[in-house]
Amino acid sequence: MQTVKLAGLLHDIGHGPFSHLFEHEFLPRVDPGSSWSHEDMSVLLLDSIVDKHAIDIENGYLKMVKEMITASAKPTSTKSANEKHFLYDIVANGRNGIDVDKFDYVGRDCRACGLGCNFQYWRLLEGMRVMGDEICYPAKDYLSIHKLFSTRADLHRTVYTHAKVKAVELMLVDALIEANDYLGISLHAHDPEDFWKLDDTIIKTIETAPNNELKKAKEIIQRIRRRELYKVV
């Protein structure tokens, strides 16, 4: 279970500034055709951390952790042949989507947005069993599973795709694109030694930069601050 815990802690460290916006909105516009993913970057960062700090960890153990990180995006054939495959469905479940990653962000985002959350993950944890190398749940827990996905759907409908949220996201992407040539943001996405330095504070870097090259990017961010958002039509 130590491998599962480690994968759970590290599986999202490969996210760039503003999370999925960086991966799905910014990079495709500045680097079309790129196959970059935050899961792959998480693996690269893990390798970098192990090498840089000379961490004593068995290769087989490390391989399992990396496979668990990419489990939702990679075929099952990549999993260690002799391992229990249900272990790969705990952190990021590409088979049915019921995983602790979803348990975490659904509850967290509901709290952060002041929304109610009827989903109680502990009910699923109490009843789950491994059968036929798969994690299974009692039929009576179908309502808990339904609440998990219905709450996620509500978040997408009322928060993630809210008109104001999308307007801010589009403006952030435009600001990052305007700053990309000068700051080399997209170049950092391919080198873990540089990538770990990228976070949401890049907006503050743009805002406070004296360089005239960042004028357009700075103006976009200032518009966000003033709530002069793009109009969604």
CB-based contacts of 39: which residues, under 8 Å, 6+ apart?
Answer: 11, 14, 69, 70, 72, 73, 92
Q: What tens digit of pLDDT does each residue of 142-193 get?
A: 999 999 999 999 999 999 999 999 999 999 999 999 999 999 999 999 999 9
From the list 11, 20, 24, 38, the catalytic residue is 38
CB-based contacts of 79: which residues, under 8 Å, 6+ apart?
Answer: 67, 71, 85, 88
Give, rounded to a whole angstrom, the gap between the first and last alpha carbons of the chain: 49
- Which neighbouring-strand residues pair with 79? none
Query: Can 15 be counted among the known catalytic residues?
Result: no
- Angstrom CA distances, 5 to 64, 221, 224, stand at 12, 38, 38
230 token code pair? 């793009």
DSSP string, 35-48: ---HHHHHHHHHHH
**How many other CB atoms are found less than 10 A from the CB of residue 201?**
11
DSSP string, 75-135: -GGGS-TTS-GGGGGSSS-TTTS-SHHHHHHHHHHHHHTT------HHHHHHH-EEETTEE
What is the per-residue pLDDT for 106? 95
Which of 100, 150, 90 lies closest to 121, judged by CA? 100
Cβ contact 148:98 at 8 Å: yes
- Burial label, 173 (beta-carbon count in 10 A; 0-12, 13-18, 19+): buried
75: pLDDT strictly greater than 70: no
What is the per-residue pLDDT for 73? 72
The chain-wide mean pLDDT, for the chain, equals 92
- Which neighbouring-strand residues pair with 133? none
Q: What tens digit of pLDDT does each residue of 4-17 get?
A: 999 999 999 999 99
Q: What tens digit of pLDDT does each residue of 123-154 get?
A: 999 999 999 999 999 999 999 999 999 999 99
pTM value is 0.88
**Mean pLDDT in residue range 42-71:** 93
Q: What tens digit of pLDDT does each residue of 112-127 get?
A: 999 888 899 999 999 9
Cβ contact 100:125 at 8 Å: no
What is the per-residue pLDDT for 82? 58
CA 217 to chain CA centroid, Å, is 25
What is the per-residue pLDDT for 15? 96
Q: How far apart are the C-alpha atoms of 144 and 140, rounded to whole Å?
A: 9
Q: What tens digit of pLDDT does each residue of 195-206 get?
A: 999 999 999 999
**Mean pLDDT in residue range 93-99:** 91
- Angstrom CA distances, 163 to 19, 28, 108, 151, 189, stand at 18, 22, 21, 19, 28
Position 218 confidence tier, pLDDT thresholds 50, 70, 90: very high
